[in-house]
Amino acid sequence: MSYQNILVNPQVRPYVALIQLNRPKELNALNLELMGELRDALKALDADEQVRVIVMTGNERAFAAGADIKQMAGRNAIDMLKIDQFTTWDQIKKTKKPVIAAVSGFALGGGCELVMTCDMVIASETAQFGQPEIKIGVMPGAGGTQRLPRAVGKVNAMEMALTGRFISAEKAYALGLVNKVVPVELYLEEAFKLASEIAQLSPIAVRLAKESVLKSFETGLSEGLEFERKNFYMLFATEDQKEGMAAFIEKRAPDFKNR
Ligand code: HXC
């Protein structure tokens, strides 16, 4: 598939794919075309047997500075309703393989929200996160008022959403929004390292573990535990479970087959 607004490398490392948001002049502002391509690419990579983990990145200056303000500026509520851009976001959210965001520079508005749809986040020291929509007369619309408080707590989410202030990578780490902060020249490599580590594991186990963790944000504890248990039992139907446990007992490295 050829894309105009993103670059896709399905094999940047063994079993690891890279998606790069690629509107550098606009700081990777997320127009509808880019989001549609992102949805299509994630769907294709999710179906590709040679891909086990996906890394999503921008460039050094910006992961993404938000939804494309120039594209949205003239629209009215009915235009927005008809365009229904969040269907695209809902599809992105359904990606089954782990997605790691590698963030440098600005991750603002929809950019910050896109980071929060990813499963893990590696940030460069230069990364800045924010929900500045309030400064242009609107508010977060792609999960910023829901995922942000779950990640950083109520008062921090309130401060970000109500003032539009940015937070540094260091603060984002302290608040639990990112997994690790590294010097700018290392952020992508660090994301590949994390991706490669996960890519060596049983993809079925990884898939069900991701699904189970995400379930915890949607359910009460008892229902979540029930869901976890079913997925745990299901893994005993896999060859990878037999291989993983045999390899442990035989003191050798496992060879997972995704079966
Ligand atoms: C469209 C954008 C943009 C955006 C930057 N640009 N952000 N274009 N939409 N979100 C464009 C600028 O117009 C400019 O183009 C070029 O990128 C470089 O940006 P500058 O402003 O000149 O750079 P700088 O002075 O370094 O400032 C960087 C910045 C600032 C702080 C990130 O650009 C900024 O505040 N951007 C908007 C951030 C924002 O409000 N995001 C939330 C959007 S609403 P030209 O052609 O002038 O050189 C949103 C809703 C999400 O995300 C919910 C729905 C998905």
Ligand 1 near 83 CB (within 6 A): no
Catalytic residue from among 67, 101, 151, 209: 67
Average pLDDT over residues 194-201: 98
Helix/strand/coil percent split, the chain, to 5: 50, 20, 30
Instruction: Determine the pLDDT at residue 2.
Output: 87
Question: Is 110 a known active-site residue?
Answer: yes
Phi and psi (nearest 5°) for 55? -105, 135
- Structure-block tokens of residue 248: 């442990």
**Alpha helix (H) residue ranges in the chain:** 32-47, 69-72, 77-83, 86-93, 110-117, 147-152, 154-163, 169-175, 187-199, 203-215, 221-235, 239-249
132 C-beta closer than 6 A to ligand 1: yes
- Give the tens place of pLDDT for each residue, 61-120: 999 999 999 999 999 999 999 999 999 999 999 999 999 999 999 999 999 999 999 999
How far, in Å, is the centroid of ligand 1 from the Cα of 7? 21
Q: Is 33 a catalytic residue?
A: no
| Cα-Cα end-to-end distance for the chain | 28
pTM: 0.97
Q: What percent of the chain has pLDDT over 90?
A: 99
Which of 66, 105, 109, 110 is flagged as catalytic? 110
129 alpha carbon to ligand 1 midpoint, in Å?
13
Question: If DSSP codes are grouped into helix, strand and coil, which group holds residue 121?
Answer: strand
For 182-217, b/e burial (b = at least 16 CB within 10 A) is beeeebbebbbbbbbebbbbbbbbbbbbbebeebee
Structure tokens at 103: 């963030």
Quick one: which atom of ligand 1 is closest to the CA of 89? 55
Q: Is 161 in the pocket of ligand 1 (CB under 6 A)?
A: no
Residue 234 CA, ligand 1 centroid: distance in Å: 46
Domains assigned to the chain: 6-199 (3.90.226.10), 203-250 (1.10.12.10)
Task: Give the CA-trace dihedral at 172, 174, 175, 176, to 10 degrees.
Answer: 80
Helix (H, G, I), strand (E, B) or coil at 77: helix
**6 Cα–ligand 1 center, Å:** 18
Measure the CA–CA gap between 239 and 228, rounded to whole angstroms: 20
pLDDT in tens, 133-150: 999 999 999 999 999 999
Among protein residues, the one whose CA lies closest to atom 32 of ligand 1: 65
The reported pLDDT for the residue numbered 1 is 74
